[in-house]
Structure formats: C-alpha cells, structure tokens
Amino acid sequence: MKFRVIKGIILKDLKELRREKMALFWIFIFPLMWITLFGTMWGG
C-alpha cells in the first residue's frame, strides 16, 4: 500500500471521529481516565 493511500484513510477516519463525540470519548478520554486511575493507585 502506498503512503498516500494510508494517509487518506487515516484522515478520513479522523474526520469521521471528530463528528461523533461518544466515539471520541471511548477512544481517547476513557482510556486516559483508566491510566490516571491506575497510575495514582499503584504509582510510585
């Protein structure tokens, strides 16, 4: 696959993701909440 094709697919998916707020939450914010929670619980 050419890089231009891959870049086009990535940009298309990011544009779709920007329209759906719940998808944005589940993909970025929810994992960050878990990382923060477990980091504070078991962090040094």
Q: Give residue limits of the domains in the chain.
A: 3-42
pLDDT at 44: 67
H or E element: which one contains 26? none
pLDDT at 21: 86
Q: What is the residue-wise DSSP string for 6-38?
A: HHHHHHHHHHHHHH-HHHHIIIIIHHHHHHHHH
Under 8 Å between Cβ of 14 and 7: no
pLDDT at 32: 96
The pair of structure tokens assigned to 40 is 């504070």
> pLDDT tens digit string along 1-44?
799 999 999 999 999 988 998 998 899 899 999 999 999 999 86
Nearest by Cα to 21 from 12, 10, 29: 29
pLDDT at 15: 92
**pTM to 2 decimal places:** 0.59
pLDDT at 1: 75
